[in-house]
Amino acid sequence: MGLGAAIDRDAYAECLAYIEVRSNIIFDKMFEVYDTDKNGLIGFQEFVTGIHTLKKDQKRKLQCISLIKYC
């Protein structure tokens, strides 16, 4: 989309601290789910696509929640 905005793991962890949640395996896995190109960043397009996919695809949502390697 050309926006050039992204969040890395450190910023992600900082956001979790802001909402008073410590990083754990579920939040680490969610970072991996959104980081589809595996470059260590969640870009805007990845974030929007991730939210859309998890909202629409119930099977994938369940797989991600149960931390199956597929995600």
> What is the rounded distance in angstroms from the CA atom of residue 52 to the CA atom of residue 41?
18
What homologous superfamily does CATH list for 6-65?
A: EF-hand (1.10.238.10)
Task: Show me where the domains of the chain are located.
Answer: 6-65
Please report the pLDDT score of residue 71 as a whole number. 46
**pTM to 2 decimals?**
0.63
Higher pLDDT: 63 or 40? It is 40
**Per-residue pLDDT tens over the stretch 12-53:** 888 777 777 666 777 888 888 889 899 999 998 888 888 877
Separation of alpha carbons 15 and 7, rounded Å: 10
Which residues, 6+ apart, have CB-to-CB distance to 46 below 8 Å?
34, 35, 36, 37
Residues in the chain: 71
Please indicate whether residue 67 or residue 12 has the higher confidence score (pLDDT): 12
Distance CA 42, CA 62 (A): 21
